[in-house]
Amino acid sequence: MPDFDPERDILPFDLAASRRGMRLNRLGHALRDPATRARFAADPAAVLDAAGLTAAERTALEGRDWRALLALGASVYALAKIGGAMGVPLPQIVREGRG
């Protein structure tokens, strides 16, 4: 297998991404907690409303557009938790995220 090319193959998760993705990553971090996950299961829109997402973030999230979410600054580990709350396991996110 040839090496990964960071510029072509990898969206680096750096401070700029971390700043962009603060709302999405906070949502992911909150969803590690069973109580937040239960609230999300009962009423996903309420949890998303409280997360204060931008329109672009909300659209990408509701469309399960993992590539867009990464570009918006989501950490893949936040996506894993958001996906988990939506019933999408990480391997599926990896597969669908190939674009």
Partner 1 sequence: MARIIGGIGITHSPAAIFAHDKGLGGKPDWAPFFEPLAQARAWLEAARPDLILCVYNDHLNHFFFDAYPSFAIGVADEFPLAPEAGAIPAFPPIPGDFALAARITEAMVARDFDLTVCQELALDHGAAGPLRMLAEPWPAPVVPIFVNVLRAPVPRPARLYALGRALAEAVAALPDDLRVVVVATGGLSHQLHGPRGGEINEEWDLDFLARLPGEGEALAALTTRDYVVRGGAEGAETVMWLAMRGALPDAVRPVVTGYLATGSTGLGLLVLEAG
Q: Which residues bind partner 1 (CB under 8 A)?
A: 1, 3-6, 8-19, 22, 25-26, 28-29, 31-34, 37, 66-67, 70, 75-81, 84-85, 90-91, 93-95, 97-99
Query: CB–CB of 82/61 below 8 Å?
Result: yes
Q: How far is the CB of 6 from partner 1 (least distance, A)?
A: 6
Q: Which is nearer to partner 1, 61 or 78 (CB)?
A: 78
Q: Which is nearer to partner 1, 10 or 55 (CB)?
A: 10
Q: Kindly give the residue spans of alpha helices, DSSP state H, lying in 10-88.
A: 15-20, 22-30, 34-42, 44-50, 55-62, 66-71, 76-85
Q: How far is the CB of 36 from partner 1 (least distance, A)?
A: 9
83 in helix, strand or coil? helix
Phi, psi of 73 (to 5 degrees): 100, 10
